[in-house]
Amino acid sequence: MSSPKKAPDSSGIGVTARSVIALVSILVVAFAVKLGIDNRAATQCRSIPGDEAWPTREDWRLLNQTVDGKLVATIPIAAVCHHSASTDDIGEHSTFDQEACDALRSEWFWPKTHLASASSAMAYQFTNDSCNPFLDPDAPCGLGYLPAYTVNATTPADLQAAVNFAQRHNIRLVIRNTGHDYLGKSTGAHSLAVWTLHMKDMSLIPEYQHPGSSYQGPAIKLGAGVEGLEAYTFANSHGLMVVGGNCPNVGITGGFTQGGGISILSSKFGLAADQVLSWEVVTAAGELVTADPTENADLFWALRGGGGGTFGIVVSMTVKAFPDTFFSSAHLTLPNDGTNTDAIYSAISTFFQSLPSLVDAGAWVVWVAAPFGFMVMPAMAAGLHPSELDALFQPTLSKMDDLGLAYTYASTENPDFLSAYRAIPGFFNASDYHAGGRLIPRSLVADEASTASLVAAVRAIGAQAFAVGVAVNVSRSVSAPGEVAANPYFRRALMNLSVGVPVNYTDWAANRRAQDRITNELLPRVRAITPGGAAYLNEADFQEPDWRGAFYGEHYARLVEVKRRWDGGELFWARTAVGSERWEERGDGRLCRT
């Protein structure tokens, strides 16, 4: 047989096979369309109010009944500062209340103001300036990017009801905990939100044991809504401590740990994501599952640093807890008097080069460089006495002395984590800064030349904005970077460098310009010295051009696989979350496939 003869044969078979496949798919599609289950066609865009497919009043009433009356229709908290507010379903209504408005204005920058609300977003730009408390009462007040409705959940069943409702009606679902997220991941226009903040259960497991885990020791199970300080207080009452964030009100179980989580204790124990022993999760299919090293191990992995709002709704997590210990803290203030800028940055150079020895000794070091000067506020280290911490600061102190700089430095000791934590003089205001960030690798302070490039970048930023760094060594507690989903680059990082520019509440366009300045002027200075580098997904610029590479690194493809397995229909969507490039949020807030 000659090959030319074979070709028509096999091609004939191919044609037949192709027509059969084509016919079968036409039938399948026709059948699916008939049943109304052609997901691709039906979910090209999520429904929004005004669409025929948007749930009716009766649908919402039934959902409210299913969740025992826990459904809240959004009225923006700043409606009291406006003559009228228009919301998705309630329509126009009169809202102005001068006294309440004054009170709101005076408390606007406190997280608690927004925590009391089922919908308020702390990252101001993700409100679309839709109901601004600082504008004239005549200015319009609408929902903007806030959810239309929120389930104030207290049980997994509430979360399941919301998931099933959103799936059934093809509407956008948002997972919202404290609403701290800088990247707008916990709010969304025309959505149903599940609010996890009131899921506050905490329990102690004195001796955790699991066949899939080498860890044996105390553990604490934390509900989805537990805030940092609540977890610290509970742990303290059992002589323990847990790895949480530095703002008392940032949730511990939500975006923080699921996004990696850098903690005061990170140089001792690693990232928050490294501590997780088990999760309970409500999936996109509405099922309640456990994810641990032996059960649903892929989900267990992805939730440990692959980002919040992506793979499922976490109901609780069980984390390692550690015996409490004493702490030392140090503070340094170096004011800029207008003539000493060169000397300040020379001292900062020495300080940067001392950071590896500080973090390797277990310290967490926060510093700020801004037009007012330089501060360390604070450095904290578990199990170190002040004299030991002072010794680690000595190179910086000597350098400042040599340069004739006027500074203040003080260190103290506290008997346990909670008292050391409470002594942090920080202010934890929210809704006041636009942010962006980059992880700084340890290699950048390894020699004079690269340190000089880092100092130059920080100086350029510090001259016009806030440059804030949080230094840690998170390499201790994992045996291999692939063990958890958090970007492997974390293990090479010396610090998280953040850039902050204040929000302007009376000039919305200025905020857009401020964020663009972060994206196009300030961060490129840091990107230039960290090519192929990374950014911490919870503290980054939401306009980061290479967010997949920068936030997830070499784990991105694997995370997409896990996303596909657990949420093939892409119910969970959040800006810069894994798989989010497959959808876009249009100008009117509608979410559509790209």
Rg of the chain on CA atoms, in Å: 26
Round to whole Å and give the CA distance between 468 and 526.
Answer: 13
Q: Which two tokens stand for residue 426?
A: 């920080």
Query: Should residue 530 be labelled a site residue for ligand NAG when binding is judged by CB under 6 A?
Result: no
Q: Name the residue nearer to ligand FAD (CB basis): 101 or 537.
A: 537
CA distance 30 to 10: 30
Q: C-beta of 591: minimal distance to ligand FAD in Å? A: 14
Spell out, one character per residue from 66 to 105, where the chain touches ligand NAG: x when CB under 6 A holds, - when not.
---x-xxx--------------------------------
Site for ligand NAG (CB under 6 A): which residue of 177, 187, 496, 580? 496
Distance in angstroms (rounded) separating the CA atoms of residues 399 and 408? 14
Contact 344, 327 (CB under 8 A): no
Which of 229, 233, 268 shows the shortest CA–CA distance to 245? 229
User: Given the DSSP bridges, would you call strands 172-176 and 191-195 parallel, antiparallel or unpaired?
Assistant: parallel
Q: Does 526 bind ligand NAG (CB under 6 A)?
A: no
Collapsed DSSP state (helix, strand, coil) of residue 196: coil
255 in helix, strand or coil?
helix
- Determine, following the binding rule CB under 6 A, whether residue 489 of this chain makes contact with ligand NAG: no
Altogether, the residues listed in the chain come to a count of 594
Report how many residues bind ligand NAG under the rule CB under 6 A. 45
Distance of closest approach, residue 79 Cβ to ligand NAG, in angstroms: 14
Query: Binds 128, which of ligand FAD, ligand NAG, none (CB < 5 to 8 A, cut-off by type)?
Result: ligand NAG
Q: Are strands 84-87 and 91-94 parallel, antiparallel or unpaired?
A: antiparallel
Cβ burial, residue 333 (10 Å; 0-12/13-18/19+): middle
154, 191, 275, 576: residue in contact with ligand NAG (rule CB under 6 A): 154
Contact range with ligand NAG by CB under 6 A, out of 341-349, 451-459, 496-504, 566-574: 496-504
Specify the residue, 432 or 521, whose C-beta has the smaller distance to ligand NAG. Answer: 432
* Shortest spacing between CB 309 and ligand NAG, in angstroms: 18
What the block records as the tokens of 172 is 């956008």
Rounded Cα distance, 112 and 114, in Å: 5
Q: What is d(CA 539, CA 106) in angstroms, rounded to the nearest whole number?
A: 26
User: Smallest distance from the beta carbon of 275 to ligand FAD, in angstroms?
Assistant: 13
Q: Which does 109 bind (CB under 5 to 8 A by kind): ligand FAD, ligand NAG, none?
A: ligand NAG
Q: What is the 3-state secondary structure (H, E, C) of 466-515?
A: EEEEEECCCCCCCCCHHHCCCCHHHHHEEEEEEEEEECCCCCHHHHHHHH
Q: Which does 506 bind (CB under 5 to 8 A by kind): ligand FAD, ligand NAG, none?
A: ligand NAG
Q: Which string of DSSP letters, residue by residue, matches 317-335?
A: EEEE-EE---EEEEEEEEE
Q: How far is the CB of 149 from ligand FAD (least distance, A)?
A: 16
Q: Cβ(584)–Cβ(296) under 8 Å?
A: no
The residue within the footprint of ligand NAG, chosen from 86, 152, 412, 477 (CB under 6 A), is: 152
Residue 152: contacted member of ligand NAG, ligand FAD, none (CB under 5 to 8 Å, by partner type): ligand NAG
Site pattern 54..73 for ligand NAG (x: CB under 6 A): ----------x----x-xxx
Give yes or no for residue 213 binding ligand NAG (CB under 6 A): no
Indicate which single residue of 145, 311, 322, 566 sits in contact with ligand NAG (rule: CB under 6 A): 145
329 binds, options ligand FAD, ligand NAG, none, Cβ within 5 to 8 A by partner type: none
427 binds, among ligand NAG, ligand FAD, none (CB under 5 to 8 A by kind): ligand NAG
Structure tokens at 183: 């990247």
Choose among 309, 284, 289: nearest CA to 300: 289
- Which residue in 144, 156, 306, 378 binds ligand NAG (CB under 6 A)? 144
Which chain residues interact with ligand FAD by CB under 6 A? 175-182, 185-186, 196, 224, 245-247, 250-251, 253-256, 258-259, 261-262, 308-309, 313-314, 428, 430, 538-539, 574
Distance CA 48, CA 53 (A): 8
Name which of 218 and 488 has its Cβ closer to ligand NAG. 488
Q: Which is nearer to ligand FAD, 427 or 506 (CB)?
A: 427
Strand ranges inside 236-372, DSSP E: 240-241, 276-282, 288-291, 313-320, 322-323, 327-335, 363-370
Residue number with CB closer to ligand NAG (285 or 529): 529
Q: Are 445 and 451 in contact (CB under 8 A)?
A: yes
Query: In this chain, which of 78, 174, 175, 189 binds ligand NAG, going by CB under 6 A?
Result: 189
Residue 130 or 253 having the CB closest to ligand NAG: 130
Which is nearer to ligand FAD, 189 or 247 (by Cβ)? 247
Cβ atoms within 10 A of the Cβ of 120, count? 22
User: Which chain residues interact with ligand NAG by CB under 6 A?
Assistant: 64, 69, 71-73, 107-110, 118, 128, 130, 144-145, 152, 154, 189, 198, 246, 262, 360, 427, 429, 432, 437, 442, 468, 470, 473, 475-476, 491-492, 496, 498, 500, 504, 506-507, 510, 536, 539, 587-589
